[in-house]
Amino acid sequence: MNLRQSFIKLIKSIGPGFLLAGAAIGVSHLVQATRAGAEFGFVLIWALVLACITKYPFMEFGPRYTSSTGNTLIEGYKSIGQWALQLYFIISIGSVFIIQAAVTLVTAGLAEYLFQTGISIFGWSCIILSLCIIILSIGRYKTIDRLMKLLISGLTLATLIAVFLAVGNEKNTYLFNYTHPDLWTVSSLAFIIAFMGWMPIPVDASVWHSIWTKEKNKQYLNNSVKNSLIDFNIGYLSASFIGLLFFLLGVLVFFGRDIVISTTAVGFSGQLIEMYQYTIGEWSKTIIAVAAFFAMFSTTLAVTDAYPRVFDEYLKHRSQSTNTHKSNYILLLFIIAVLSIALLYFFSNRFTIFIDFATGVAFLTTPIIAWLNLKLVTSSNFPKDNRPKPIYYWFSQVCLWFLVGFGVFYLGLNIFY
C-alpha cells in the first residue's frame, strides 16, 4: 500500500474520535471550564491539565481493545466475569439519566438565549431531545458521524478566534495582578473535583468510544490499531485543547469583574455570551452564541446516541447466548429520553447545583472503569503486541492511583464537612 492509499484509509477511518470530542465538548467545557476560569483565574489551570492527562490512558484503552480484538469493552467486561459486566451496568444506570439531563439542560438554556422564543427550559429540552431522536432514528451512525465532523471543526475555529481576540484585549491587562481566591476551602475543593470529573470527559465514555469504533469498523474492514489510535488522539486532544480555550475565555472574560455566576441555564448562557460581546466586541455575539450552541448540541446528540448503544450491548451480552438478540436501540432511545425529561422537570431550576452533582458522581465512578479497562488490555487473552509498553503501563498505574486518591478525598469532603 502506497502513501496516498494509506492516507485515504486513515481519513476514512476517522470518525469515532470526532464523536468522542462531540460528547466531551459540552458541560465540562462550556459550563465547568468557563466557571473554573471565571472564579479562580489562571491558578486552576493545573486541574484541567491534570484531569486530561490522568484520564488519557483509560480512554485510549477503549479503541486499543476494540481494534485489537474486534470486541467492545462491554464484551471485554463479560470476559472478566459477569460481576464486571453487572458492575458497569450499575454505574451506567446511576449516571445515564443525570448525564443526559445535564447536557440537555445546558443546550436548552443556550437555545432560548439564541432564539429568544419565550419557550421554557423544559419545553426546549423536549424539543432538543426530540430532534436528536429524529436524527438518530433516520440516520443512526452515518448521520452523527458526518454531522459531528462539521460541528467540531466549526466550533474549534470559532472558539480559537474568540480566544485570540480576548487575549489581545487591553481590558485584560489587570489579570495577573488580581488576587486569586483560596483553593483550600471546602467549597473550592468540592468544585475543583467536580470540575475534574467531566474534564475533558467521564472515563465511562471509553465504552461509548469502543462501540463507535466497532460500528466504524463495520464500514471499513481491517481498520488497523494504529489508525484507530490516531483517530482517538485527534478527538481526545481536540477536546482537551478546546477545554483549555473555554477555560481561558472564562479567565479573560469573567475573572476579576465581580460578577456573580447565574444559577439558571438561560441566565448563565446570557452572562457567557454577553460578556464575550462586551470584551471582544458587539460583532462577536453571534459567533460565540452559535459556537456555544453547537458545542452543547453536539454533546447532547452524542450522549443521546451513546447510552442506547451501551444498554443494547449490555442486554446482548448479559446472557450466555447472543445469537437471538434483537436490537432495542430505538426503544432504549425513547425510554432514556423520557426518563431524562422527567428528571429535568424537577431540576431545571437548580442549574449549577445539578451540574456539580452530575460531574461529582462521574469522578467517583472513574477509578472503577479505569481499573477494568487496564485489566482488559493487560490480560493474557489480549494480543501481546498491542499491550501497553512497560513505561505506559506504569504511567497508567500512577494515573489510576491518583484517581483513586482524589475519589477518596472527594468522599471525605462530603462525609465530614
Does some domain include residue 35?
yes
Residue 259 neighbours by CB under 8 Å, 6+ apart? 38, 271, 275
Print the domain residue range for 73.
14-171+187-416
How many CA atoms lie within 13 Å of 139's alpha carbon, on the beta-carbon side? 13
8 A C-beta contact, residue 320 and residue 174: no
Instruction: Identify the sign of the CA torsion 156, 159, 162, 164.
Output: negative
Q: Is residue 1 over pLDDT 60? A: no
Residue 279 has pLDDT above 50, yes or no: yes
Distance CA 2, CA 23 (A): 34
CATH number of the domain to which 72 belongs: 1.20.1740.10
Residue 29 CB partners (closer than 8 Å, separation 6+): 200, 239, 242, 243, 246, 295
pLDDT, mean of residues 255-272: 75
pLDDT, tens digit (0-9, with 9 covering 90-100), for 313-339:
888 887 655 555 557 888 999 999 999
Task: Confirm if 172 and 250 have CB atoms less than 8 A apart.
Answer: no
Q: pLDDT higher for 10 or 92?
A: 92
Mean pLDDT of the chain: 82
Burial of residue 417, with CB atoms counted within 10 A of its CB: 0-12 exposed, 13-18 middle, 19 or more buried: exposed
| Higher-scoring residue by pLDDT: 9, 272 | 272
Q: Is the pLDDT of residue 147 over 70?
A: no
Q: Is residue 26 one of the residues assigned to a domain? A: yes
- Concatenate the DSSP letters of all residues of 154-193 into one string: HHHHHHHHHHHHHHT-GGGTTGGGSPPPPTTSHHHHHHHH
Q: Examine residue 1 and state whether it is found in any structural domain, yes or no.
A: no
Tell me how far apart the alpha carbons of residues 166 and 272 are, in angstroms, rounded to a whole number. 13
Q: For residue 375, what pLDDT is reported?
A: 96
Q: What is the pLDDT of residues 91-131, one digit of tens each?
A: 888 888 888 988 898 899 889 988 889 999 899 999 999 99
Q: Please report which confidence band the pLDDT of residue 176 belongs to, taking 50, 70 and 90 as the band edges.
A: low
pLDDT band at 385 (very low <50, low <70, confident <90, very high): very high
Q: 349 falls in which pLDDT band (50, 70, 90)?
A: low
In tens, the pLDDT along 215-246 reads 877 766 556 788 889 889 988 998 899 899 98
The total number of structural domains in the chain stands at 1
The answer to whether residue 315 is domain-embedded is yes
Taking Cα atoms as reference points, which of 366, 401, 413 lies closest to residue 28?
Answer: 366
Burial of 264 (0-12, 13-18, 19+ CB in 10 A): middle
Confidence of residue 7 (pLDDT cuts 50, 70, 90): very low
Domain assignment present for 240: yes
Q: How far apart are the first and last CA of the chain?
A: 62
Residue 40 cell numbers, joined: 479562580
Question: Quick check: 281 pLDDT over 80?
Answer: no
- Taking CA atoms, 332 is separated from 95, 197, 336, in Å, by 15, 26, 6
pLDDT above 60 (res 156): yes
Task: In the chain, count H helices and then E strands.
Answer: 15, 0
Q: How far is CA 153 from CA 146, 243, 298, in A?
A: 11, 14, 11
Residue 21 lies in a domain: yes
pTM (2 d.p.): 0.85
**Band (65; pLDDT cuts 50, 70, 90):** very high
Per-residue pLDDT at 401 = 95
> Around Cβ 225, how many Cβ atoms within 10 Å?
16
Beta-carbon contacts of 188 under 8 Å, excluding residues fewer than 6 positions away, are: 40, 181, 182
Q: Which residue has the higher pLDDT, 122 or 345?
A: 122
Is 229 within a domain?
yes
The reply to whether 3 falls in a domain is: no
